[in-house]
């Protein structure tokens, strides 16, 4: 199978999470990969929620994020690039939060994806997730 690619950009607000999930679902459906859709959308949804909540201050800061999808023979790579202020993923921690405050989304991301890489950019951030089929 030759690789397939697609990309879409969204406003940095909570309403865009649903639109981004639909974009991913439609891409996976088009290429016969819906059996992986739940895990992929849970992980990507957690990443997007953090981008909106922390990078875009809950939607109060203007910006965008772009979702890049690449389907290859036995994996899908999803890259999200945002225009939020650069952030150091290694400094994130949930150790100071009580369980009811959340803070466990990144654990889900690492559990569901086969590879996760966060990178601070000059004018934003990038996360690359890989899922094996």
Show pLDDT as tens, one digit a residue, over the chain (133 residues): 568 999 999 999 999 999 999 999 999 999 999 888 999 999 999 999 999 999 999 889 999 999 999 999 889 999 999 999 998 776 655 544 444 445 678 899 999 999 999 999 999 999 999 999 8
pTM as predicted = 0.90
Query: What kind and span of H or E run contains 70?
Result: strand 64-72
Backbone angles phi, psi at 67, to 5 degrees: -105, 120
Q: Are 92 and 57 in contact (CB under 8 A)?
A: no
SS3 23: helix
Domains of the chain, earliest start first? 4-132 (3.30.565.10)
How far, CA to CA in Å, does 76 sit from each of 4, 71, 99? Answer: 9, 4, 31
- Phi-psi label, residue 43: left if phi above 0, alpha if psi -120 to 50, beta otherwise: alpha
pLDDT value for 90: 66
pLDDT value for 105: 86
pLDDT value for 99: 43
């Amino acid at each position: 199978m030759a690789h397939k690619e697609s990309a879409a950009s969204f406003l940095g607000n909570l309403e865009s999470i649903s639109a981004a999930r639909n974009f991913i679902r439609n891409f996976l459906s088009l290429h016969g990969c819906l059996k992986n859709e739940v895990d992929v959308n849970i992980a990507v949804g957690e990443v997007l929620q953090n981008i909106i909540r922390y990078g875009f201050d809950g939607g109060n800061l203007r910006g965008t994020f772009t979702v890049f999808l690449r389907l290859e023979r036995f994996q899908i790579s999803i890259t999200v690039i945002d225009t939020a202020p650069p952030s150091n993923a290694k400094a994130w921690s949930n150790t100071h939060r009580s369980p009811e405050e959340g803070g466990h989304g990144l654990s889900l991301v690492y559990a569901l994806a086969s590879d996760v890489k966060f990178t601070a950019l000059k004018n934003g951030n990038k996360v690359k997730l890989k899922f094996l089929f």
